[in-house]
Amino acid sequence: MEGLAHQIIAGIATGGIYAAVALALVMIYQATHHVNFAQGEMATLSTFIALSIIQAGVPYWLAFLATIIVSFVIGVVVERVLMRPVQNAPVLTHVGVFIGLLLIIGNGTGWIFGYTTKAFPSPFSSEQPLLGGLVSAHELGSTAVTLGVLVLVYLFFRHTSLGLAMRAAAYNPRSARLVGVRVGWMLALGWGLAAAIGAVAGMMVAPVVFLDPNMMLGILLYAFAGALLGGIDNPAGAVIGGFAVGVLENLAGAYVVGTELKLTVALAIIIGVLVVKPSGLFGRVVTSRV
Amino acid sequence: MPMLLEAKGLRAGYGPTHVLHGLDFLVEDGGVTALLGANGAGKTTTLRAVCGMVKTEGEILLGGENIAGWATEDIARRGLAHVPDGRGTFMELTVEENFRLGAYVRRDREVQADFERMWAWFPRLRQRWKQQAGTLSGGEQQMLAIARALLLRPRLLLLDEPSFGLAPLIVQEIFGIMRRIRAESGVGILLVEQNANLALELADRAYLLETGRIVVSGPAAEIREDEAIRRSYLGY
């Protein structure tokens, strides 16, 4: 029984990471109707940047903040320089650019920082187990951080006029221009925000899975499964989906398929959702006229 | 004193095909200009050209400043609001959020006062305040679109067929409100409308378009009285 409780809690902790990455995917999907395959590699790059800053002797939380800012800027630049010229291009062009971005950032990261697996520090003193050994300090801390980020993003989109303008630009760019919203910049801001959220996820997951250039590959898959499960066009749904996938994955790994086959759970969810309910649990059903 | 809006030799189209072949027209400060004509005459394209949604040639002077070739969002920021065909409301957002977006570029302190003015003109929108715009009736959505546009505090309002697809009673209500808006706000209006009778009642100047050219122009009252024009162009 205690084992089960522990698996669920650990699942929630990784689920928070998936939820954050799923949210980043959904944000860009809503604005562009494309899934950014490079979201994971961008987060890995951010985590390496964080490690370099920490190793330079900067206190953890300061490095954390600096990494978020740097990642935000990288996201904005990627949109302005790479995505903007192809914004009206056909779907395949986008897929090509995303795959190119994935390879370039992934290999670039390996080239600059090396391919050896590195330990990444956790800001939460991790030795003493809490709640009678049910949960580690890092699990608790990283869940709090990802939840904090999700709440902040929610408040930003709900209650600020910039957040409202970003939603308007994503839903209806033509009308957004008519009220004076600079739609192109809203898109760039969205990329920046997604990159920043991904950076937080990377920094929170790295102490658990260790840091190497392919760190986010599996996580992106889980996050994508979560986003699909919740509904790829629904941010709240994607977050719930991310948490659900985290718990499911952990339980399946512990009791059903074993750790080696855990990643198949993500693929099974992706295929299952696409076959049974393509719009996800909370997504809108899209009907297109032919 | 410059005209509120003056188009000179306005040409526009989609891709290589031209839809407008050199239009000249005016909107006076606080005046209402109606663009009339059959389907496909180029009325909607004219509005799109004025707010930078299609490629144009020629001059478009807003308060004496040539805005031809500007981006739509910059034109909006100069005080030009457009209620496009299909209304251009944000269906996924609430009425309140649509209001807030309408006033998005404004930094003055009178936004709340303008909200209250809109509630007075469109009481139904206040009742639907927290509702998603997509759940509103067609008439309410048209009202929301007009309110959203007016919240920009525009100098010039472009309206593309505000009566389209609405029941006659709702059309009467909307035109009643528009007469009030005209009297109380001093905003200039460029109106495209299929219902020529209604449009000419509200307008003080009118242009008749035929396949991208202006064939008749003059004071609205004269066009309304001219039997020959009415019969051959307006069909009533």
Q: Which of A160, A162, A175, A183 to mutate to test the interface with B (most CBs of B within 10 A)?
A: A175
Mutation target vs B (from A157, A178, A286; most B CBs, 10 A cutoff) = A178
Instruction: Measure the CA–CA gap between A110 and A144, rounded to whole angstroms.
Output: 30
Q: Any residues with CB less than 8 A from the CB of B98 and at least 6 apart, and which?
A: B89, B90, B133, B144, B147, B148
Read off the pLDDT of each residue in A61-83 and give the average, rounded to a whole number: 96
Residue B124 covered by a domain: no
| Domains of chain A: total | 1
Tell me which residue range forms the domain holding A241.
2-276
Low-confidence ranges of chain B (pLDDT < 70): 1, 235-236
| Confidence check: pLDDT of A126 > 70 | no
Question: What CATH number is attached to the domain comprising A122?
Answer: 1.10.3470
Query: Domain count of chain B?
Result: 1
Please tell me which of the candidates A161, A175, A182 has its beta carbon nearest to residue B90: A175
B89 → closest Cβ in A161, A175, A181: A175
Residue A289 has pLDDT above 60, yes or no: no
Nearest by Cα to A182 from A166, A193, A194, A171:
A166
pLDDT digits (tens, 9 = 90+) for B62-85: 999 999 999 999 999 999 999 998
Q: Does B111 contact chain A (CB < 8 Å)? A: no
CB nearest B72 (choices: A167, A171, A177): A177
Which of the 8 DSSP states describes residue A258? -
How large a percentage of chain A has pLDDT more than 90?
67
Using the Cβ of B73 and the Cβ atoms of chain A, whether some distance falls under 8 Å is answered with yes
Residues A164, B77: C-beta atoms closer than 8 Å = no
Going by C-alpha positions, the residue among B83, B105, B91 that lies closest to residue A172 is B91
Distance CA A237, CA A281 (A): 7
DSSP per-residue codes, B102-124: HTTT--SS-HHHHHHHHHHH-HH
Residue B25 resides in a domain: yes
Q: Flag whether A283 is in a domain.
A: no
Of the candidates B76, B90, B149, which has its C-beta nearest A172's C-beta?
Answer: B90
The model's pLDDT over A186-237, given as tens digits with 9 standing for 90+, comes to 999 999 999 999 999 999 999 999 999 999 999 999 999 999 999 888 889 9
Which candidate from B53, B71, B104 shows the least CB-CB separation from A179? Answer: B104
pLDDT at B15: 82
Contact of B36 with B207, CB cutoff 8 Å: yes
Query: Does residue A182 belong to the interface with chain B, where contact is any CB pair within 8 Å?
Result: yes
Q: Which two tokens stand for residue B60?
A: 């478009």
Residue A164 at interface with chain B, using a CB cutoff of 8 Å: yes
Within 10 A of B108 (CB to CB), how many other CB atoms are there?
9
- Residue A73 above 70 pLDDT? yes
In a domain, B104, yes or no: no
- pLDDT score recorded for residue A129: 64
- Rounded to the nearest angstrom, the minimum Cα separation between B79 and chain A is 10
**Among B88, B91, B97, beta carbon nearest to A178:** B88
Closest among B94, B160, B78 to A168, alpha carbons compared:
B94
In this complex, do B105 and A171 lie within 8 Å of one another by their Cβ atoms? no
Question: What are the backbone dihedrals phi and psi of residue B6, each rounded to the nearest 5 degrees, phi first?
Answer: -140, 120
The ipTM estimated for the assembled molecules is 0.92
Token code pair at residue B106: 């404004």
Interchain proximity A164–B97, CB inside 8 Å = yes
Domain of B166, in residue numbers: 5-89+154-234
H helix runs in chain A, sequence order: 2-32, 39-55, 60-78, 91-113, 137-159, 161-171, 173-178, 183-209, 215-230, 235-251, 262-276
Residue B113 lies in a domain: no
Q: Flag whether B122 is in a domain.
A: no
Question: Is the minimum CB–CB distance between B57 and chain A shorter than 8 Å?
Answer: no
d(CA A163, CA B37) in angstroms, rounded, equals 41
Q: Is residue B139 part of a domain?
A: no
Residue given tokens 């809203």 in the structure block: A186
Whether A176 and B76 lie within 8 Å, measured CB to CB: no
Q: What is the CATH number of the domain that holds B228?
A: 3.40.50.300
Q: What is the pLDDT of residues A5-63, one digit of tens each?
A: 888 988 999 999 999 999 999 999 988 888 899 999 999 999 999 999 999 999 999 99
Mean pLDDT of chain A: 90
Residue with tokens 């004269």: B222
Position A289 in a domain: no
How far is the alpha carbon of B74 from chain A, nearest alpha carbon, in Å?
7
Four-CA torsion B175, B180, B183, B185, nearest 10 degrees: -110
**Is pLDDT at A280 greater than 90 in this prediction?**
no
Which residue out of B73, B91, B96, B146 would a mutagenesis test of the A interface target, given it has the greatest number of A Cβ atoms within 10 Å? B73
Token pair listed for A57: 């002797």
Q: Per the domain annotation, does B82 fall within a domain?
A: yes
Confidence of residue A131 (pLDDT cuts 50, 70, 90): low
Q: Does A178 touch chain B (CB under 8 A)?
A: yes
How many residues in chain A? Answer: 290
- Please indicate if any CB of chain B lies within 8 Å of the CB of A172: yes
What confidence tens digit (pLDDT) does each residue in B17-48 have? 889 999 999 999 999 999 998 888 899 999 99
Q: Does B90 touch chain A (CB under 8 A)?
A: yes
pLDDT score of A125: 74
Residue B73 lies in a domain: yes
How many Cα atoms occupy the beta-carbon half-sphere of A154 within 13 Å? 14
| Residue A272 located in a structural domain | yes
